[in-house]
Every structure is written in structure tokens, then in C-alpha cells.
Amino acid sequence: MKNRQEIVEKIETLSRDSDPAFQINTNEVLATYQHLDENRTNITIKILSILGVIISVLSFLGALFSLNLLDDKLNLIICGSLFLIIAIYCIKKYNSIIIDTASITSYIVGGWMLIYGIDTDHINNILILCLVINLSTLAIVQRYLISLLNILCIIYALIALISYNTDHLVWIALMNIVLMVALMYVLMQEALLLSKRNIMSTIYQSLRIALTLSTIATTAYIVLSHFKTYETYDNNTAIALYTLSVAYSVVILYLVRKIIQKFDNRMANKSILIYILVILILVSTIINPGISGAIILILLCFYYQYKFGLSIGIIALLFFLWHFYYNLNFSLLTKSIFLMLSGFVFLAIYYVINSKKINNEKI
Amino acid sequence: MEKIDREDIAITSKHSNRSRKQIEYLLEQYVYAKPKDWKKFLDLFLLVLGIGFVVSGIIFFFAFNWAELNKFIKIGVILLLLIICITCSFQLKIKEIYKKMLITAAAMLVGVLFAVFGQIYQTGANAYDFFLAWTIFITIWVITTHFYPLWLIYMVLINTTIILFNDQVQNNLNSIALYTLLFFLNGIVCTALLALTKYYKTDIPLWFRNTLVLTVTSIATVGISLSIFDSKLQQGLLLIIGTLAFYAYCMKYAQINKSTFFIGTIGFSLLIIVNSILIHIFNEDFIFFFISIFVIITVTALIKFLLNLQRKWTNEK
């Protein structure tokens, strides 16, 4: 446990080299640490909490279904709103993980009942209602888990709206690019967002997770829908796929440039060679933006040391690689040669990077 | 003092007037990846991907030509790989962990060997034989190598052999009896392992211990729920007694070793069993309302209990 002494030491270390006008409210800091300690959850508690929410939501909704209580729409709307209000009130008043399970269950059940009770055939209206509920909740209360839920619902309500109102997959690809750019902005401008000290800094962590998950999930959706309609050769999906690929390739080149800059002058001479090799890899994955997307996630998250994003990136890379080779309509011989060549390109980059080190050490 | 991390910078920035430049400087210094980290990461990343791709390419090449290969070459190649793995692990002067990984690879190759043998000579689709042979032949390696991933593979193989034996050869055991057998098999291994840590002070990796406990608890939970739903409580009596004894031992172990995982898993398992009893007794639909509220209350109480325990334990440190 971080005792008072340790925390004060940390504050002093961090306050070194500050501006002369730097002031810090030590009591508030100590209070925050105290509160964090009381609510320190390990993975067991988190998983237990999520499982509890899922089981109780499902059984409550199951009971509603089987008892035919879903027919009385006005009742549903009133009860749903009540559940929502109670949930938001509890979360706002008691800032504690213990109340969270019950509150989030109440929130999900209430929201679902309210939306189901409105009973309209226009899916657009349902999605807009969902959007409104989540935006208002986000404005009223900002806590880790509930804000994560809200942001995810907002993103997916928007994607569902786009997907329902247009036939073309390319709009979702554009939305995906927006999400990726937003993720890059959130990771790169961490200092800016933290310094603003407003609602954005409070929901920063939830925003980061939500954007990571939704970017990779939307990419997976586009890749999988393309390959599902591969036989019918739907022109729609191909355009979406290539748009995404090109956008991701540009992002990777930008990131490679940023990384090379970090190594100062040592890599400057060989940087053109590295760019060419990277472009070679990107060309080979042009029909699967999932691979380039996963690589972007891995490089970004390692740069900004975001461990959760890094693990998601690695799992996504493995999944997309498997999917890519599984679906390739070439013979096993072609696939094997393809694989070996890609392997050699990776090893080539490895030797290019390391040869400079050896050269430098000799000098 | 512990290392300074992102959380510290975020909290201190929130309650101060730190400028954006200063926050960026602190993040660069304490959090973001440095060139040294990048070198290590890129080396690992490129090497793993490069070697992985090349090896996959070679495997795909073999797969392409598999049908045309002579049967002696097929078995010969696998035997050759097996011999190389074992020889390397004994002769090469490499780190201990790499030797153990080589023996694990050799254990997997034994399985591949038997599978290819079965495919060439069309010995029939009796998977039970295959798993039994595989298990027996790697027993000595597993015991002498003392490598926990290999132990895990071995446990999976033993369980699979028993399940397939019951399925394909002798259908003497009904499902509850099967679950009881599996429970006692894995439970005894688990208890022996936990007792070993206490009396011989050996260190078991946490992931292995937790996986084993999770498996035993799942088997017990499914078995008891099955006996409740089928109203065959008498047949499940042995399982219930065994489960209670195992849970009691685990709770005692958890208290001494300060592990929240055990308590969380056992608590959740008991929750599911009680829910099964409730659903079975009241065969009405309204019981789901009650279950919903019951789950929330129990999970909340469990989380509160775990948080208090955790706080008490970190205070004692």
C-alpha cells in the first residue's frame, strides 16, 4: 500500500524541474490515492463483477419475456426510466465498486426496457434514442465502467445508423478511419487532454479502451464481410477494403517515421531501405487491412506503453494472419512460398536494423 | 519508493496547475517507450514474425506434398525431428528453459507421429487408442522434465483419454459418475500440488495452480448441477461430499496464502449451484426475477468481502 511518505516522495520527484508557479493540492492527491486503494480491484473481482452483471441482466430480461410482461408498453417505459434514474443516481452518489454491479445491471435493464417500450418500427428512431440516452448519461456521470459502456454504445449506434441508412460498406470503412484517427489523437495528445482537466480528462481511460476495441472490431467486421461475399464478388466490399488498406498503410509509414526519429542519427542513413522493406510488407497485405491495422495498434500501443492495447493488437494480429492464410484461394504451394518470402522480408529488416548497431560499435 | 507510473502523473496533474509541456516531459521520461525498449521490442517482434513465417512456409510446403510422399519419408521426417529435439536438449549448452521447451516440442511430436501412423495404416478412428498411447509414451519425459506447461499438456491428455474411453469403449459410467471420476482425479492432483507447496516449500507458477483449481471447480459445479437437474442426488452424493471437502481445503489454503482467486472462484461456483437448486425446486418462470436479484446481492457481497480481505492483507504486509 502506498503510505503517505511514499506518496509525498513521489509528488516531490514529479515536482522537480517544474515551472516556478507550480502548485499542487497535496491533500486532494492523498485523498484520491486513499480512494483508489479502497477500490483496488484485481482481475478476479473485475471478472466476477462482469459475470454477475451478465447473469442477472439475462435472467431479469428472461423473466420479463416468459411472463409476458413485455406487452404492457407504458409500464415498460415508466419502469425502464425509473431503473435508469436509480442507476445514475447511485453511481453518482456512491463512488464505489461495490455498488457498481447493481447499478450497471439496473442501468442496462432500464435502458433496454425504455427502448423496447417506445415500440416503434423505425430503427433510426431507436438508434437515435439510444444515442441520446448514452450522451446524456456521459454528460451527467463519468465513472470508468459506465462511461466505457456509454462510449461503446455511442460509437456502435453511429455505426448502426450509417450501416442501416446506406448500402455501401465504404461508409463504415470511412467511420473506421475516423475511429483510428481518434485513437491516434487520444494516445498522442495524452498530455494535452490531461492538462485540460475537464470532462475529457475524466473519461480519458474509458475513451482509450473504447476506441481501441471499436477500431479493431470494425476492421474485423469489414474484413470478414468482404471474405464472406468473396464468391459473389461484391464490388462494394472490395472498395471499402482497399480504402482501409491504403489509409492504414499511410498511418504505418507515418509511425515508422516517428519511431526512426526516436533513434536519432543512428538509423538516418538506412531509413530509406527500411521504408522500402516496410512498403514491401504492406503491399503483400493490401487485401487484408486487418493485418496492417493490428500492426498499427501494436506499434502505437508500444510507443505510448499502453499494455492492454498491445495485448489486443497481438491477439488481433494472430487472428487476422490466420484468417488471411486460411482464406487465400491459392494452392498450398503458393501459400508456402508467400509465407517464406514474407518471413525473409521481416528477417531482412531485422538484419538492417542490427547491422547499423554492429557498424556503430566497430567505430 | 515504487516506480512512478502513468497513474501517479495523472493524479498529480489533476490536482495541480501543471502545464501541458511539463506533463508531456514527465510522460516521456517515466512512461513512454525509450530507444532501448524499442530495440528489444523490434528485435523480438521481427525475429518472431520472421522465423514464424518461414517455419509456417516450410510446414505448408510439406502439407502440399504430403499425399505424394513415400510413407517411410513421412514417418522418417517426424522421427528425425523428434531425435533432433531430444539430442539438442541434452547436448546443446543452452539455457535450462530452452531445453525444457525442446522436450515439450518433442512430446507434441510424439502425438504427431502416432497421428501420421494412424493415417497411413488406417488403424480406424478410435481416438481413444491414440490418446492412450500418446499419454503413456510421454510419461517419463513429463516426470523427469518437471516443466509446468508440459504437465498441463499431460493433464489434458489424461482427461481426454478417460472421456474417450468412456465414450468409445466401455459405456459403464453415466455422466454424473464420469464427472465424479474426473473431479477426483484432477482434485487429488490439485490437492497434492497445494500440499506440496505447504510442506516442501516448492514454488508452483500461479497460472498453473489457478488453471487447475478453475478446472476442478468447473467439473464439480457442472457435475453437481447435472445431478440436481436430473434429480439423481444419490448418485451425486460422492461428488457433493468430495466437493465440500475440496472447497474447505481450498478456503484454508487461500487464507494462508492470501489468494483472492480461490475465494472468488469457489464463491461463484456455489452461486451457480444454489441457482440450479432454486430453478429446479420452483419450476416457474417468476423464479428468474428472484435469481436476478439474488445474483446481484451475492456478487456484491462477494466483491465487498474480497475487497475487505485484500485491504486487510495489504495492510499486514
Q: pLDDT over 70 for what percent of chain A?
A: 92
Q: What is the DSSP letter of B205?
A: P
Q: How many CB pairs under 8 A join A and B?
A: 242
Give the model's pLDDT for residue B317. 65
Give the model's pLDDT for residue A1. 47
Q: Does A54 touch chain B (CB under 8 A)?
A: no
Lowest mean pLDDT among A112-126, A152-166, B244-258: A112-126
Q: Reply yes or no on whether the pLDDT at A48 is more than 60.
A: yes
Of A14, A97, A333, the CB nearest to B61: A333
- pLDDT confidence band for A356 (50 / 70 / 90): low
Cell of A17: 524541474
Closest by CA position to B292, among listed A326, A2, A57, A217: A57
Q: What is the Cα–Cα distance from A257 to A277, expressed in whole angstroms?
A: 13
Cβ neighbours for B90, distance < 8 A, ≥ 6 positions apart: B99
User: Could you give the ipTM of this predicted complex?
Assistant: 0.79
Give the model's pLDDT for residue B193. 86
Q: Reply yes or no on whether the pLDDT at B52 is more than 80.
A: yes
SS3 assignment, position B16 = strand
Q: Reply yes or no on whether the pLDDT at A361 is more than 60.
A: no
Q: What is the DSSP letter of B2?
A: P
SS3 assignment, position A341 = helix
Give the model's pLDDT for residue A151. 92
- pTM value? 0.81
Chain A: residue nearest B271 by CA? A52
Average pLDDT, chain B: 86
pLDDT tens figures, B207-264: 888 899 999 999 999 999 888 888 777 778 888 889 999 999 999 888 888 888 899 9
CB distance A337–B2 less than 8 Å? no
Cell of B242: 468430495
Q: Does B257 touch chain A (CB under 8 A)?
A: no
Cβ neighbours for A362, distance < 8 A, ≥ 6 positions apart: none
Which residues of chain B neighbour A59 with C-beta distances below 8 Å? 288-289, 291-292, 295
The domains of chain B are located at 173-317
Q: What is the mean predicted confidence (pLDDT) over A163-189?
A: 89
The burial of A7, by beta-carbon neighbours within 10 Å (0-12 exposed, 13-18 middle, 19 or more buried), is given as buried
Q: Reply yes or no on whether the pLDDT at A363 is more than 50.
A: no
Interface test with A, best of B16, B20, B297 (most A CBs within 10 A): B16
Who wins on pLDDT, B163 or B198? B163
Whether B271 contacts B259, CB under 8 Å? no
B18 torsion bin: left (phi>0), alpha (psi -120 to 50), beta (else): beta
Max mean pLDDT range (A31-40, A249-258, B16-25): A249-258
Cell of B38: 524499442
Q: Reply yes or no on whether the pLDDT at A362 is more than 70.
A: no
Q: Reply yes or no on whether the pLDDT at A342 is more than 90.
A: no
Q: Reply yes or no on whether the pLDDT at A68 is more than 60.
A: yes
Cα–Cα distances in Å, from A154 out to A129, A183, B233?
A: 11, 15, 49
For residue A56, the tally of other CB atoms under 10 A from its CB is 27
Of B6, B11, B24, the CB nearest to A29: B11
